[in-house]
Structure 1
Amino acid sequence: MATQPWAAGPKEILEHGISLLRKDSDKNRRLALLSVDNAVELTIKTYLGLPKRINGINVPRKEYAEFSESFPKLLDALEQYAVPKISGIELGEIEWFHRLRNQLYHQGNGLTVDRDKVEIYSELAKLLFESLFEEQLSFAPEDQHQMLGEFLAAWVSFERMIAELSKLNAAKLTTLAGRTRPPLMAMGRMVRVGVFEPAEAKEIDELRKIRNEVVHGIVDYKTVINRKVIQRLEKITEKYQHVLDSSPPPADA
């Protein structure tokens, strides 16, 4: 599918940032991080600024002008207007990488950045773009980098599946003061009521630990993410997605 005209700008900037990593150097890593961060900001601004006929949301112009001046406020606006679109995407992690970008910008050439951090941020940016604009991106990255992207995308799919599964079983689950439980907390409750297998929940906890340690820079993703890890996650997601697909919708749907 051709890129929608309004998404072309963010896509080009993100692609440029990723391309800089193909010739690795301290300078290119810094430039890549700046480019990826610019792509994230433009992605959010573009999506929230689209006509209601395109994105289905109505953002007052005055409000848009106000939150467009601040990256944290842009993230707040996403949480306010685009909750279904950002399911499975941790905006707090995106904000952390933006702060890293700010340190880099203000300290200039005196600060180096790990290649892994740039690669992780680029994959989070890619997930955000794909979710908001409903377009799959393919930039022909290196094999291990591509595997990182597949793993993070598989995790988003898992969390979205869990959210739908918890809705399907809402009558069996308690809420948090009337609010729906976050996906992984809901999974724990579904284990208790027999909806989710304990052994698979334990495996998801292990995969969640891998995911968090990778994104937070605790471990090198090249040492913990491989095809087998991705397949483990996809297998569990597919199993319960089949349950969803073969079940009648909730009574209030």
Structure 2
Amino acid sequence: MKRSRTDLETTSNRNEVDAFLAHVAAVPKRAPSGSRGRLIFSMDATASREPSWDQAASLQAAMFQETNDLGGLDVQLVHYRGFQELHASPWCSRADQLLPRMTSVRCAAGITQIGRVLDHAIAETERKRVNALVFVGDCVEEPLDSLAGLAGQLGLLGVPAFVFQEGRDPTAERALKEIARLSGGAWCPFDASSPGTLKDLLSAVAVYAAGGRKALADFGRRRGGDVLRLTQQLRGSK
């Protein structure tokens, strides 16, 4: 029987989520430092992302909630918009510190500044260890060679970039996949109409940043569904 386009798209999305989770599971376990995990949560705040910005703001609370029992997580919000505007918040240890900063942002037309985000992440981890970078965006308007060089530096520093692409722009997809690969992270597309999946994936990355792969496996067993597939990739890991 011929499969419908919807069925094919669902299967494709399912495979991509599975592949993303497998990559998260395969990231080397961070060295224990006795301190809280540190994660940079970076987002494109140009005009095209305005419809989904508020949704992303509501999802970020889950990152803190899932890491409370692991010693907690410090998150820094980084976003760009308009003409050469790049903003980085102080490091926040609670959702109620980060949420007002996110909800006060107004998206503005401009070109992407992903290179500056990567450069910022490099500078931050050279000051104090950053366990992971999350990037959420839908477009890439910068030369791939320069982005690849910066992503490679992150990889050498042990800072994986977990990249969530809204929509399926092919130029952006090629570049964002390369950033994830060279940094040792993972790429995954998401649909703004399915916020539950993005919430679980963001939470999985946060749990990894706060507690490493063992914590991620425990999280998968508790949550089930998409994230449970991580445990299949973690067998034999310590």
Is TM > 0.5 for Structure 1 vs Structure 2?
no
The structure whose residues are more often helix, as a share, is 1
Task: Select the structure that is richer in strand.
Answer: 2
Which fold has the larger relative contact order, with Cα–Cα distance below 8 Å and residues 6 or more apart in sequence? 2
Report which of the two structures shows the higher radius of gyration computed on alpha carbons: 1
TM superposition score normalised by structure 1: 0.27
TM-score between both structures, scaled by the size of structure 2:
0.28
